[in-house]
Amino acid sequence: MGEDVARDPECIFCKILEGDIPAYKLFEDEHTFAFMDINPLNDGHALIIPKDHHPNIFDTPTNVLAPLMETTQRIARAIQNSIAPDGINILQANGHGAAQSVFHVHFHVLPRKNGDDAKLNWGLRPGDMDHISDLAQQIRVAIKD
């Protein structure tokens, strides 16, 4: 990584990584960044991205995917321990047909509630930012090194 980090100046996730767009950060290490989704399916919906820009899983080297999955697992555990949803889905979409809306590889950690009737391609509805901020704090506290 270091000085050779690849970024796309048009990518919203790269803009978040650059600090040009604010985010409710949950966790960051040398290779990955985790933050709250501001259009949540349910409380605690989080996103995990690599610091390098790769448009999809097919173009992402395995040496990038390994730390990405480690962080995804860490965040899923923190959400389970802090919010205690009925279940968690891990989602990673590739391409328009899979409803990929940001072409920077990422994983969704989707807390689920019994009976939430969530569809795979949920509609984007802005969440309450104060509530998202509070949830981010709960999850940050639950993240273990």
Domain borders along the chain are: 2-142
Report whether 85 contacts 42 (CB < 8 A).
yes
Per-residue pLDDT at 118 exceeds 90? no
Closest CA to 17 of 44, 41, 52: 52
**pLDDT of the residue at 5:** 78
145 pLDDT band, cuts 50/70/90, is low
Residue 107 β-bridge partners? 48
Handedness of CA 22, 27, 31, 37 (dihedral sign): negative
Residue-wise burial string across 59-88, b where 16 or more C-beta atoms lie within 10 A, e elsewhere: ebeeebbebbeebbebbbebbbebbebeeb
Mean pLDDT for the stretch of residues 105-128: 88
Q: Give the helix/strand (H/E) hosting 139.
A: helix 129-142
At residue 101, the pLDDT reads 94
How much is the pLDDT for 122?
64
Residues 58-85 have a mean pLDDT of 97
Structure tokens belonging to residue 13 = 């996730």
- State the pLDDT confidence band at 121, using cuts at 50, 70 and 90: low
The domain 2-142 is placed in CATH, from the list 1.10.10.60, 1.20.1090.10, 3.30.428.10, 3.30.390.50, at 3.30.428.10
Looking at residue 38, its pLDDT comes to 96
Whether 56 contacts 68, CB under 8 Å? no
Catalytic residues: 106
Supply angle C-alpha 84, 89, 93, rounded to 5: 145
Q: Is 80 exceeded by the pLDDT of residue 89?
A: yes
- Look up residue 86 and give its amino acid: D
* pLDDT confidence band for 117 (50 / 70 / 90): confident
